[in-house]
Amino acid sequence: MTAPLLQVANLTKHFPVRTGVFSRVSAQVHAVDDISFDIAQGETLGLVGESGCGKSTTGKLILKLIEPTAGSVMWRGERIDRLRPGEMRKLRRELQAVFQDPYSSLNPRMRAVDIVSEPIRNFESVSRDEIHERVAALLDKVGLRRDQMVKYPYEFSGGQRQRLGIARALAPNPRLIVCDEPVSALDVSVQAQVINLLMDLQQELGISYLFVAHDLAVVKHISHRIAVMYLGKIVELTDKRSLFEDPQHPYTEALLSAVPVPDPRVERKRVILSGDVPSPVNPPPGCRFHTRCPYAFDRCRIEEPKMIAVRPGHWVACHLREQAARGV
């Protein structure tokens, strides 16, 4: 395998909670805590977890829309997490994004052609005719008609808007697109179309995706590898097959058992979690999942589990697996 396109190491983001008259920092929201992963050229890494676990924050950290508290982001071997905005801007053509809400992520006062061509015009000075040509080609690619380029966003449907968002992300020929829940605002039938479009584009152009989602079925369809996040931590990271066939972390097990199976005769073991996700302002000590884990024991409450490889390429952060691996 070639060197990874993107390497994230020990990435951490704490948001300060300010209270009182003088805006004293009274607490920290541990949105993302010490996570590491990498993405290879042409690969899709799925990032799943329930709401508020820090998946979208991770996407924004990589895009440098927010500054990390600690850790590093390497883009093709170069650290980008400490770049100043002007230096980062030059890299942005290689690193694009598709956002969750196809309604609010397109400026309502710009026509499709201006929206899609914005990243092109940011980096190149091109003639009007050439922009016209390139936008037309992009619209073709995402399955919109050329004559729709003079329309405003309100004249498009949700699925069409998301296609516009994808066309915009493709415009500067990026190598990686951070997809922040790109289909969760769409109908199921439209979801499938958009997912398939993203996969076709990957086949054709060799783009990598960081695909953030909370829907396991969607992630299973599009990803090569999947990282499961819980309360700001990655608890399991492996290729799609081992995750679905042999989940190692109790949280992954619970997540998988919550995926509906369209066959009433299939009997399954249901793992039902009790309780709520603890607050990220005050995450539990030890393993963050111990408050809801059916297998938790003393060590889980004190010591934070490290990422270990249960087999090559299958990483999990759980004391149970560590003991099993050591043969205890």
Partner 1 sequence: MSTLALPSARSASPTWLRLKNALRRHPTAIAGAAVLGVMILIAVFAPWLGTIDPQAVAPIRRLKPPSAEYWFGSDMLGRDVYSRVVYGARVSLAVGLAVALFSTLVGLAIGLVTGYIRWLDAIVMRIMDGLMSIPSVLLAIALMALTKASIGNVILAITLAEVPRVVRLVRSLVLTLREQPYVEAAVAAGTTLPRILTRHILPNTVAPLLVQATYVCASAMITEAILSFIGAGTPPNIPSWGNIMAEARSLFQIAGYLIFFPGICLSLTVLAINLLGDGMRDALDPRLARRM
The residue ranges that bind partner 1 (CB under 8 A) are 63, 65, 89-90, 92-93, 95-97, 99-101, 104-111, 113-114, 117-119, 121-123, 128, 131-132, 147, 149-152, 154-155, 165, 168, 172
Closer residue to partner 1 in complex, CB, 123/244: 123
Closer residue to partner 1 in complex, CB, 117/202: 117
State the SS3 of the chain. Answer: CCCCCEEEEEEEEEEEEEECCCCEEEEEEEEEEEEEEEECCCCEEEEECCCCCCHHHHHHHHCCCCCCCEEEEEECCEECCCCCHHHHHHHHHHEEEECCCCCCCCCCCCCHHHHHHHHHHHHCCCCHHHHHHHHHHHHHHCCCCHHHHHCCHHHCCHHHHHHHHHHHHHCCCCCEEEEECCCCCCCHHHHHHHHHHHHHHHHHHCCEEEEEECCHHHHHHHCCEEEEEECCEEEEEEEHHHHHHCCCCHHHHHHHHCCCCCCCCCCCCCCCCCCCCCCCCCCCCCCCCCCCCCCCCHHHHHCCCCCEEEECCEEECCHHHHHHHHCC
CB of 174 to partner 1, least distance (A): 10
Closer residue to partner 1 in complex, CB, 111/214: 111
Closer residue to partner 1 in complex, CB, 180/236: 180
User: What is the Cα–Cα distance from 14 to 22, expressed in whole angstroms?
Assistant: 20
CB of 142 to partner 1, least distance (A): 16
Closer residue to partner 1 in complex, CB, 107/279: 107
Closer residue to partner 1 in complex, CB, 85/275: 85
CB of 72 to partner 1, least distance (A): 20
CB of 61 to partner 1, least distance (A): 12
Report the alpha-carbon angle 171-139-170, nearest 5: 20
Closer residue to partner 1 in complex, CB, 100/223: 100
CB of 109 to partner 1, least distance (A): 5
CB of 12 to partner 1, least distance (A): 21
CB of 27 to partner 1, least distance (A): 22
